[in-house]
Amino acid sequence: MHTSMHESCIQACSDCAWACETCAASCLREDNVQAMARCIALDMDCAAFCKMAAALMARESEYAKAFCRQCAEVCRACAEECARHESDHCQHCAQACRSCAEECERMAGGQMAA
C-alpha cells in the first residue's frame, strides 16, 4: 500500500470529517436539538472514523483496508440520516458521506452492499 495511491480516499475522509463536524455543530444550533440527536451522534461517529481512516492510510497501516470497510459502513449510515433532514448542512454532509463511503469501499478492494 502506498499513500499516494490512496490520496483521493484520504482527501475524501478529511472532507467528510469536516462536513460531519460542521453538521454536528450546526445541528446543535437547531431549534429542536432533540430531533437532531441521532444526526449529531452519527456525525460525531463518522468524523472520528474518517479521521482515523485517513491517519491509518497516511501511515500505511496494515489495518487501513479493514478500517476503511468499517468507515464506509458508518459513512453510509450517517449519509442516510443526514439525507432525512432538509437543512443545507445536513444535505452537504450526506453528499460528503456518500462520496467518502465510495472512496473507502474502493480503497478496501471492492464495493460493499449498500
Query: Residue 67 sits in a domain of what CATH number?
Result: 1.20.1270.360
Decide: helix, strand or coil at residue 114.
Answer: coil
Residue 109 banded pLDDT, cuts 50, 70, 90 = confident
- Is position 75 within any domain? yes
| 35-39 CB contacts, 8 Å cutoff, 24+ apart | 36/85, 38/81, 39/81, 39/82, 39/84, 39/85, 39/90
Domain annotation covers residue 49: yes
Examine residue 30 and state whether it is found in any structural domain, yes or no. yes
Q: Domain tally for the chain?
A: 1
Amino acid at 67: F
pLDDT band, very low/low/confident/very high, at 4 (cuts 50, 70, 90): low
| Angle at CA of residue 100, ends 73 and 96, nearest 5° | 110
Domain membership of residue 114 (yes or no) is no
The string of pLDDT tens digits covering residues 37-72 is 999 999 999 999 999 999 999 999 999 999 999 999
For the chain, give the percent of residues with pLDDT over 70: 91
User: φ, ψ for residue 98 (rounded to 5)?
Assistant: -65, -45
User: Rounded distance, CA 84 to CA 98, Å?
Assistant: 14
How many Å separate Cα 98 from the centre of its chain?
Answer: 8
Three-state helix/strand/coil letters over 77-90: HHHHHHHCCCCHHH
